[in-house]
A and B are shown apart, each in its own frame.
Chain A
Amino acid sequence: MWEHRALYVAISPFYILFAVFGLFPIGFSLYLAFHKWDGIGVMTYNGFNNFKYMLTDAEFWQAVGNTFMIWIYSTIPMLFFALIIAFLLHAPFVKFRTLFRVGYFLPNVTSIVAVAIIFGALFANNYGFLNYLLQSVGLPVVEWLNAPWGIKVAISSMVVWRWTGYNAVIYLAGLQSIPQTLYEAAKIDGASAIQSFFRITIPMLRPVILFTVITSTIGGMQLFTEPQVLVGNDGGAGAAGMTIVLYLYRESFINNYFGYGAAVGWGMFLIIALFSIVNWKLVQGKSS
Chain B
Amino acid sequence: MIRRKRTCWTAILIVCVLLISGCSIWPGQDDSANNKKVTLTLWYWNRSIDDKLIARAKEKFPNIELTAQKIGGDFKAKLKTTLAARSGEPDIVALNDWIMELFPSEDRFYNLYDLGAGDIESQYLPWKWKQGVTPSGQMIGFPMDTGPTALFYREDLFKEAGLPSDPEDVTRQINSWDAYAAAGEKIKEKFGGKVFLTDNIGSVYNQVLSQGAERYFRPDGSFIGMDSALVRTSWDTSIAFKEKGLLANADGWTPGWNAAMNNGEVASFVGAVWMKQVLQEAAPDTSGKWRVARAPGGDGNNGGSFLSILKSSEHPQEAFELVRWLQSPENQLEQYQTLNLFPSAPGVFDDPAMKEKEPFFGGQATGPVFAESAQEVPDAFFGERYPSVHNIITRRLNDVAKQNADPQQVWTDTVHRVERELQR
* A40-B84 in contact (CB<8A): yes
Q: For A1, what are the chain B residues with a Cβ–Cβ distance below 8 Å?
A: none
**Cβ of B104: which chain A residues have Cβ within 8 Å of it?**
38, 40-41
Of A119-127, A165-173, A177-185, A197-205, which stretch is located at the interface? Answer: A119-127
Which of A40, A146, A256 has most chain B Cβ within 10 Å?
A: A40
B388 in contact (CB, < 8 A) = yes
**A12 touches B (CB below 8 Å):** yes
Please report the C-alpha to C-alpha distance between residue A147 and residue B77 in the assembled complex, in whole angstroms: 31
Closest to B260 in A: A126
- Selected from B84, B256, B388, B391, the residue in CB contact (under 8 A) with A124 is B256
B244 at the interface (CB under 8 A from A): no
Neighbour of A40 across the interface among B19, B20, B80, B250, CB < 8 A: B80
Contacting residues of chain A (230-246) with chain B, CB-CB under 8 angstroms: 234, 237-239
Total residue contacts A-B, CB cutoff 8 A: 71
Among the stretches A13-21, A72-80, A280-288, the one at the interface with B is: A13-21
* Whole-angstrom distance between the Cβ of A69 and the nearest chain B Cβ: 16
The distance from the CB of B398 to the nearest CB of chain A, in whole angstroms, is 6
Do B255 and A121 have beta carbons less than 8 Å apart? yes
Whole-angstrom distance from the CB of A187 to the nearest CB of chain B? 55
CB of B182 within 8 A of chain A? no
Residues of chain B with a CB closer than 8 A to A255's CB: 387-388, 391
Please, how many residues of chain B have a CB less than 8 angstroms from a CB on the other chain? 34
Q: Mark A10-33, 1 if CB is under 8 A from B, else 0.
A: 001100110010000000000000
* A239: chain B residues within 8 A (beta carbon): 395
Range of interface residues on chain A?
A: 20 to 34
Residue of B nearest to A250 (CB): B391
A257, CB-defined interface residue at 8 Å:
yes
Q: Is the CB of A126 within 8 A of B80?
A: no
Q: Assess A127 versus B256: contact at CB under 8 Å? Given A9-B12, A238-B399, A255-B388.
A: yes
Which residues of A have CB within 8 Å of B83?
A: 39-40
Q: Does A260 contact B (CB under 8 A)?
A: yes
Residues of chain B within 8 A of A125, CB atoms compared: 249, 256
Q: Chain A residues near B101 (CB, 8 Å)?
A: 256
Across the interface, which residues of A come within 8 angstroms of B402, CB to CB? 143, 146, 237-238
Contact A127 B259 (CB under 8 A): yes
Tell yes or no: A45 within 8 A of B by CB: no
The answer to whether residues A257 and B403 also contact, given A17-B20, A126-B250, A127-B259 and a CB cut-off of 8 A, is no
**Smallest CB–CB gap between B38 and chain A, Å?**
26
CB distance from A162 to the nearest CB of B (A): 21
Interface presence of A100 (CB below 8 A): no
B395 lies within 8 A of A126 (CB):
no
Q: Is the interface of B mostly helix, strand, loop or mixed?
A: helix
Q: Does A253 contact B (CB under 8 A)?
A: yes
Task: Report how far A234 CA is from B77 CA in the complex, Å.
Answer: 17
Q: Are A237 and B398 in contact (CB under 8 A)?
A: yes
CB-based contact A13/B250 at 8 Å: no
Query: Quick one: closest B residue to A2, CB to CB?
Result: B5
- The CA-CA distance from A40 to B82 in the complex, in Å, is 9
Q: Would you call A61 an interface residue if the criterion is a C-beta within 8 Å of the partner chain's C-beta atoms? A: no
Enumerate chain B residues within 8 angstroms of A148, measured Cβ to Cβ: 403
0 or 1 for each of A98-130: is its CB under 8 Å from B? (1 = yes): 000000000000000000000011001111000
CB of B136 within 8 Å of the partner chain = no
For the complex, is A53 an interface residue (Cβ under 8 Å from B)?
A: yes
**Closest residue on chain A to residue B19 by CB atoms:** A13
A 47-62 binary contact with B (CB < 8 Å = 1; else 0)? 0000001000100000
In the complex, what's the smallest C-beta–C-beta distance from B257 to chain A, in angstroms?
A: 9
**B102 contacts chain A at the CB level, 8 A cutoff:** yes
Residues of chain A within 8 A (CB-CB) of B256 are 124-127
Tell me if B395 and A13 are in contact (CB < 8 A): no
Interface residue from B105, B259, B403, B424 paired with A126 (Cβ < 8 Å): B259
Partner of B255, one of A40, A120, A146: A120
Among A13, A39, A239: residue with most chain B CB under 10 A: A39
A52 to B19, CA, bound (A): 42
A131 to chain B, nearest CB (A): 11
B390 to chain A, nearest CB (A): 11
B108 within 8 A of A: yes
Inter-subunit contact B255/A127 (CB<8 Å):
yes
B16 within 8 A of A: yes
Q: Closest Cβ of chain A: how far from B251's Cβ, in Å?
A: 8
Q: Hey, which chain B residues are within 8 Å of A147, CB to CB?
A: 403
Given contacts A127-B256, A127-B259, contact A40 B108 (CB under 8 A): yes
18 contacts between A and B (CB under 8 A): A9-B12, A13-B19, A16-B16, A20-B20, A38-B104, A39-B80, A39-B84, A40-B102, A40-B108, A53-B424, A121-B255, A126-B250, A126-B265, A148-B403, A237-B402, A237-B403, A238-B399, A255-B387
Interface residues of A (CB under 8 A from B): 9, 12-13, 16-17, 20, 36, 38-41, 53, 57, 120-121, 124-127, 143, 146-148, 234, 237-239, 253-257, 260
4 new A-B pairs (CB below 8 Å) besides A20-B20, A124-B255? Answer: A13-B19, A16-B20, A125-B249, A256-B101
